[in-house]
Amino acid sequence: MLETSKPAGRRVVVLGTGGTIAGRARAAGDNLGYTAGEVGVAELLADVEAPPGTILLAEQVAQIDSKDMEFAVWQRLAQRCDAWLAQPDVAGVVVTHGTDTLEETAFFLQSVLAPGKPVVLTCAMRPATSLSPDGPQNVRDALAVAATPGASGVTVVCAGVIHGAHDVQKVHTYRLDAFASGDAGPIGYVEEGAVRCVRNWPSAPGGRAYPAIDLIAGLAQWPRVEIVTSHAGARGTLVDILVSEHLSASTPSRLDGLVAAATGNGTLHHALEAALLRAQAAGIAVVRATRCAEGRILAHPSAGLRDAGDLTPVKARVALMLELIAAGPRS
Ligand code: SIN
């Protein structure tokens, strides 16, 4: 853990988890052939000024490529955010993270913490060793948001744009401005260190929708929720295999839930839909989420499978897992 020797003030804590922002390449010009999660968070902050009146503090929570995100990292990250936010002199927390599963982590943290102070996830599309890395500016912008009086909830800051955890999605494989907030639009912008909001912060204190962090912290086994996709020529075979495994298996391979990545307004190929209805009848929790990048599923009373509204399939999966955790262990 590193605490910089700056004059006393409110603390902003930076938690490192890895990602391209902490990526290292052999050649400085190489923005593709690098290893994510190599540069320590203290090193990422070496040339970064703390926002006026704040002290920076760094802690390495994980050091991974976020494609390999695991529940244990989420558990630890949520616990560390919660512990730091409880300190009266901590203004907010910044989390450095890979871009690939950033939206899942943001949604998870918002769901279990609904923090009354800001938790700001940031990232980079170019490694730390790049000739012109984007990480340092993203970190500065994230720090500005974390130090903003009145800011709250989990946000993502990338390329000067502030996104809410509920709406943010990675939408580009390469561009530095790789995230979007769909229909909702961004929460605001960071311009030369100044935060300009165009809509409200994500969180009202006490607005937590899912199980509290203490329930997550002690969790030994997470529910198993798989995502299946509806597409041209879809079949129900995979779902049937998962359900038959579940019905015959011992606890570790049991299936708790399925998210169907559905077409358009939550529609499913008839063969997949039939299998999902069989899964639901067998006691598996089934939710439909749209594959569309924007919009939400408009509910229809005749639908036999519930829908996830405007959540993407990966976020609907997180929501379903948290719902199953809140419901307690199955008999
Ligand atoms: C990662 O998600 O950890 C690697 C990719 C990235 O950060 O852009």
Ligand 1 centroid distance, CA of 170 (Å): 11
The full set of domain ranges for the chain reads: 2-197, 221-327
Backbone dihedral region of 321: left (phi > 0), alpha (psi from -120 to 50 degrees) or beta? alpha
Condensed to tens digits (0 to 9), the pLDDT of residues 282-308 reads 999 999 999 999 999 998 888 899 999
Q: Residue 331: pLDDT above 70?
A: no
Residue closest via CA to ligand 1's atom 8 equals: 99
Share of the chain above pLDDT 70, in %: 92
* Predicted local distance difference test score (pLDDT) of residue 247: 87
Task: Please give the Cα distance from 42 to 128 (Å, whole number).
Answer: 13
Ligand 1 centroid distance, CA of 126 (Å): 9
Condensed to tens digits (0 to 9), the pLDDT of residues 204-260 reads 655 555 557 878 888 989 999 999 999 999 999 999 999 998 888 565 568 999 999
* Predicted local distance difference test score (pLDDT) of residue 147: 98
Question: How far apart, in Å, are the Cα atoms of 203 and each of 150, 174, 253?
Answer: 11, 30, 36
99 C-beta closer than 6 A to ligand 1: yes
Residue type, 131: L
Q: Do domains 2-197 and 221-327 have the same CATH topology?
A: yes
* Predicted local distance difference test score (pLDDT) of residue 29: 87
Task: Please give the Cα distance from 282 to 96 (Å, whole number).
Answer: 41
Task: Please give the Cα distance from 318 to 73 (Å, whole number).
Answer: 14
List helix spans (H) across 290-330: 313-327
Fold held by 221-327 = Rossmann fold (3.40.50)
Pairing of the two strands 257-262 and 225-229: parallel
Residue type, 236: G
Condensed to tens digits (0 to 9), the pLDDT of residues 40-55 reads 999 999 999 999 999 9
Active site includes 20? Answer: yes
pTM across the whole model:
0.95
Cβ–Cβ < 8 Å for 60, 16:
yes
20 C-beta closer than 6 A to ligand 1: yes
Provide CATH code, domain 2-197. Answer: 3.40.50.1170
With vertex at residue 309, the alpha carbon angle to CA 117 and CA 171, rounded to the nearest 5 degrees, is 70
Residue closest via CA to ligand 1's atom 1 equals: 98
| Torsion from C-alpha of 259, 115, 64, 12, nearest 10 degrees | 160
